[in-house]
Chain A
Amino acid sequence: MQVNVGRQQDYVRRLSKRKRTLASYTCRPSITDIVVTNKTKEKMEIKGKVHCLFEQSGTFKKEFKKLGYDAEDYDIQDNFGETDHVVDLFSHIETAYAGGVQRYLTT
């Protein structure tokens, strides 16, 4: 049976155009914009505090507080005068790794 390649190509072209038209009507963004693996429907329960480390942690700290969570931020600098704990996080991580007792990164 001979296959009319030209008609097949027309059909595929029209099908692609139809899909593109439909896609433009949906409000769903492209599926490649966000990739989430191992996503879970269970909401994360944060019964304790949220500790935001390093630069730009202040923005997330404020939003966590607005959502009702107890949050603190830690950074070596205090450019905006809003950092809760001005500490050398690098040395704290080193000490915690070495098994030492530090105020922030230990239980």
Chain B
Amino acid sequence: MNSDDLVMAFFPCIYFCENNNLFFTGKHINLSGHTKDFVEREIIKRAEQRHYLYVLLVKLFNVCTNRGLRLIVENPYSTEHFLYNNFPYEPKVIDRDRRRRGDYYKKPTQFFYHNCEPTHGETYTTPKMLKRVTSATPGIRQGICSEERSLISPDYARNFICDFIIGKTQVHSQLQFEF
């Protein structure tokens, strides 16, 4: 890899999302019916897993800083997200409603840009189908995100690349009426 390339990382978010806050209070449904000893050990395990992934993410940024690599990292967005107040970088693009650009889910998402800057386009596409995160099939086991829930539609991918990475105006971009 060199500085002419672009690295786009959909970094694992399973331990950063807001439902982890419920886990750390010991009130998550996965911990119900277990002994206190079990709950405390699970919390320790999850805290270590989250710490590992967090350090790994910072290391990824550090590698790109030292080698001049352009990096875009995607992660879900909310004020309860672990990276909201615990990360040395701020997201440069926050998409609060992915359905506007053709994705299946609303799923607020943040994108961190490193050694590069986002463009801004307005390509809006009606999604081919709408889904709800709560209706998605669950992950195969605890700690693994549901595959269906992680799905990104090709329409959204294309619109995002054109609007926020390469700055390309697409033929079907919706006209804006000015008053």
Q: Is A11 in the interface zone, CB < 8 Å from B?
A: no
**Which residue of the partner chain A has the closest CB to B153?**
A59
Q: Smallest distance from the beta carbon of B54 to chain A beta carbons, Å? A: 13
Q: Which of A48, A52, A62 contacts B8 (CB 8 A)?
A: A52
Main secondary structure of the interface of A (DSSP, over half): loop
B7-36, CB under 8 A of A: which get 1 and which 0?
111111000000000000000000000000
Q: Which of A28, A38, A59, A93 contacts B118 (CB 8 A)?
A: A38
A26 touches B4 (CB 8 A): no
A25-59, CB under 8 A of B: which get 1 and which 0?
11111001111111111111011111111111101
Q: Which of A43, A63, A104 contacts B1 (CB 8 A)?
A: A104
User: In A51-104, which residues have CB < 8 Å from any B CB?
Assistant: 51-57, 59-60, 62-64, 66-67, 79, 90, 93-94, 96-97, 104
Query: Which of B38-46, B79-87, B91-99, B130-138 lies at the binding interface?
Result: B91-99
Main secondary structure of the interface of B (DSSP, over half): loop
A56 touches B150 (CB 8 A): yes
Q: Which of B2, B9, B157 contacts A63 (CB 8 A)?
A: B157
Q: Given A27-B177, A38-B92, A59-B157, A33 and B165 touching (CB < 8 A)?
A: no
Assembled-state Cα–Cα distance A30/B119 (Å): 19
Q: Is B142 in the interface zone, CB < 8 Å from A?
A: no
B59 touches A59 (CB 8 A): no
Q: Which of A41, A52, A67, A96 contacts B168 (CB 8 A)?
A: A67
Q: Smallest distance from the beta carbon of B37 to chain A beta carbons, Å? A: 30
B176 touches A43 (CB 8 A): no
A46 touches B118 (CB 8 A): no
Q: Is B100 in the interface zone, CB < 8 Å from A?
A: yes
B1 touches A27 (CB 8 A): no
Q: Is B127 in the interface zone, CB < 8 Å from A?
A: no
A51 touches B124 (CB 8 A): no
Q: Is A105 in the interface zone, CB < 8 Å from B?
A: yes
Q: Which of A28, A41, A64 contacts B119 (CB 8 A)?
A: A41
29 interchain pairs, CB-CB under 8 A: A32-B96, A33-B95, A34-B94, A38-B92, A39-B117, A40-B118, A40-B119, A41-B119, A42-B117, A42-B167, A44-B119, A44-B165, A44-B167, A49-B6, A51-B7, A52-B8, A53-B7, A55-B12, A59-B157, A60-B8, A60-B152, A62-B154, A63-B157, A63-B158, A66-B158, A94-B56, A97-B59, A107-B3, A107-B68
